[in-house]
């Protein structure tokens, strides 16, 4: 007789934002925009920015340490850092993060699926635990996007912010609170140009004489076709959410919170409208974080848990969309875990 399926269970949570706050007023003082324009079109009032040399590694360590503490300082077998903003092209940052967290020689590597990175990382952690290769995984979404933003681009500068969030997964059984439910992932590389940082990689180096003539220019900054991205985001996130709801045998009415990637409040509301989900079930902290890419979902979960809005037993629909294009969704019932206040 077959026993219960092995599942990845959420057992720890952490989040950290760098202290420097960048307001809409500050951005409007140097760009052709206004605080009201930014807020009505994005839902963002302020975002955080790294300073004093902080980078993706440092933010990851801060959030990872909180998540490990939240999980009772358990041992982990694997550290995955999901990031769009690597500290360097090589090596990946996860081994350094693991070492700084005192985790010794555990397996560690990075993944990059941009704003979908946390959901892709969650799927990866689920696979490692389900296959028996790992019994516990620390997944960290960590992003230092501000050095990749063109200060003169009003289409991207108001949107993005820096931060990190982390979740510990442990081995458990189907039906346990915190068990990751069905997962849907997808991509569309034919639209890879909608959100892109063209410079710095092999393609640019090869095209410019193996890199010897490559110079830093606007290709090293994020470019985004905001309008086309908006349309794709609402469409892909809606379809993906419907897929996992159907696989989990959940109705929309069963969902207590839609935990969506914090790209733009109007994208999140657009998805909710398409799903027939009341806007009061759309969880959001984008007003004070901006879009923190792969870090946004765990930062949001931590904010929600710390504020008491997220309670054990709540049913969560989680969804993300980002560059690639890539997207993913899952569902879970929130477990009873300890959390600490975000700095």
Catalytic residues: 115, 261, 291
Q: Which of 5, 75, 203, 227 binds another protein (CB under 8 A)?
A: 227
CA distance 322 to 312: 29
Which of the stretches 94-102, 157-165, 225-233, 291-299 binds another protein when contact is defined by CB under 8 A? 225-233
CA–CA separation, 108 and 146 (whole Å): 25
Residue 231 lies near another protein (rule: CB under 8 A): yes
Question: Shortest gap between Cβ of 285 and another protein (angstroms)?
Answer: 20
Task: Write down the least CB distance from residue 193 to another protein, Å.
Answer: 16
Window 37-76: residues binding another protein (CB under 8 A): 40-41
Three state DSSP letters for 71-102: CCCCCCCEEEEECCCCCCCCCCCHHHHHHHCC
Distance in angstroms (rounded) separating the CA atoms of residues 176 and 15: 24
Residue 111 or 237: the one with the smaller Cβ distance to another protein is 237
Among the listed residues 9, 123, 234, 286, the single contact to another protein using CB under 8 A: 234
Contact in structure between 42 and 265 (CB atoms under 8 Å): yes
Question: Within a 10 A sphere around the Cβ of 91, how many other Cβ atoms?
Answer: 13
Q: Write the binding mask 249 to 288 for another protein: x where contact by CB under 8 A, - elsewhere.
A: -----------------x---x--xx--------------
Helix axes 296-307, 56-70, angle to 10 degrees: 40
Which region, judged by CB under 8 A, interacts with another protein, from 7-15, 70-78, 222-230, 283-291?
A: 222-230
Q: Does 154 bind another protein (CB under 8 A)?
A: no
Return the structure tokens found at 113: 């699926």
Q: Choose the binding region for another protein from 134-142, 204-212, 229-237, 304-312 (rule: CB under 8 A).
A: 229-237
Report helix, strand or coil for 60: helix
Q: Total binding residues for another protein by CB under 8 A?
A: 11
Residue 43 Cβ vs another protein, minimum distance, rounded to whole Å: 11
Is the Cβ of residue 166 or residue 286 nearer to another protein in the bound state?
286
Residue 35 burial (CB count, 10 A): 18
Determine phi and psi for 183, rounding to 5 degrees.
Answer: -120, 135
Question: DSSP code of 21?
Answer: E
**CB closer to another protein, 236 vs 314:** 236
Stretch that binds another protein, among 66-74, 169-177, 228-236, 282-290 (CB under 8 A): 228-236
Complex with another protein: residue 207 or 279, whichever CB lies closer: 279
Q: Give the nearest distance from C-beta 42 to another protein in angstroms.
A: 9
3-state secondary structure of 267: helix
Task: With contacts defined by CB under 8 A, name the span among 26-34, 48-56, 183-191, 226-234 that binds another protein.
Answer: 226-234
Nearer to another protein, 220 or 230 (CB): 230
Q: What six digits make up the tokens of 237?
A: 């996130």
Q: Where are the alpha helices (DSSP H) in the chain?
A: 24-28, 35-42, 56-70, 94-100, 117-130, 202-207, 226-247, 265-275, 286-289, 296-307
Integer-rounded Cα Rg, in Å, for the chain is 19
In this structure, are residues 303 and 292 in contact, taking their beta carbons and an 8 Å threshold?
no
**Contact with another protein (CB under 8 A): which of 25, 228, 246, 343?**
228
Which residues contact another protein by CB under 8 A?
A: 40-41, 227-228, 230-231, 234, 266, 270, 273-274
């Amino acid at each position: 007789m077959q026993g219960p399926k092995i599942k990845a269970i959420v057992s720890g949570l952490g989040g950290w934002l760098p202290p420097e706050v960048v307001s809409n007023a500050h951005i409007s003082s140097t760009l052709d925009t206004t605080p009201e324009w930014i807020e009505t079109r994005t839902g963002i009032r302020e975002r955080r920015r790294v300073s004093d040399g902080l980078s993706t590694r440092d933010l990851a360590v801060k959030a990872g340490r909180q998540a490990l503490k939240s999980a009772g300082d358990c041992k982990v077998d694997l550290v995955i850092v999901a990031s769009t903003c690597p500290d360097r092209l090589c090596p990946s940052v996860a081994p350094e993060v693991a070492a700084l967290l005192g985790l010794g020689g555990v397996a560690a590597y990075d993944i990059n699926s941009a704003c979908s990175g946390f959901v892709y990382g969650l799927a990866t952690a689920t696979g490692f635990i389900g296959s028996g290769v790992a019994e516990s995984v620390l997944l960290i979404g960590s992003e230092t996007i501000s050095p990749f933003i063109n200060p003169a681009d009003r289409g991207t500068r108001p949107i993005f912010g820096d931060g990190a969030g982390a979740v510990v997964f442990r081995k458990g059984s189907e039906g346990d609170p915190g068990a990751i439910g069905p997962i849907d992932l997808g991509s569309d590389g034919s639209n890879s140009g909608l959100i892109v940082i063209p410079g710095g990689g092999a393609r640019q180096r090869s095209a410019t004489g193996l890199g010897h003539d490559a110079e830093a220019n606007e290709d090293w900054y994020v470019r985004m076709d905001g309008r086309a991205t908006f349309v794709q985001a609402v469409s892909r996130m809606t379809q993906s959410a419907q897929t996992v709801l159907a696989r989990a045998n959940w109705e929309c009415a069963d969902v207590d919170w839609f935990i969506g990637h914090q790209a733009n409040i109007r994208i999140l509301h657009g998805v909710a409208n398409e799903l027939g989900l009341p806007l009061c079930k759309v969880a959001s902290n984008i007003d004070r974080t901006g879009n923190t890419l792969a870090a946004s979902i765990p930062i949001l979960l931590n904010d929600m848990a710390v504020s008491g809005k997220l309670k054990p037993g709540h049913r969560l629909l989680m969804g993300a969309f980002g560059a690639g294009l890539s997207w993913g969704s899952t569902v879970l019932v929130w477990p009873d875990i300890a959390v600490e206040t975000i700095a």
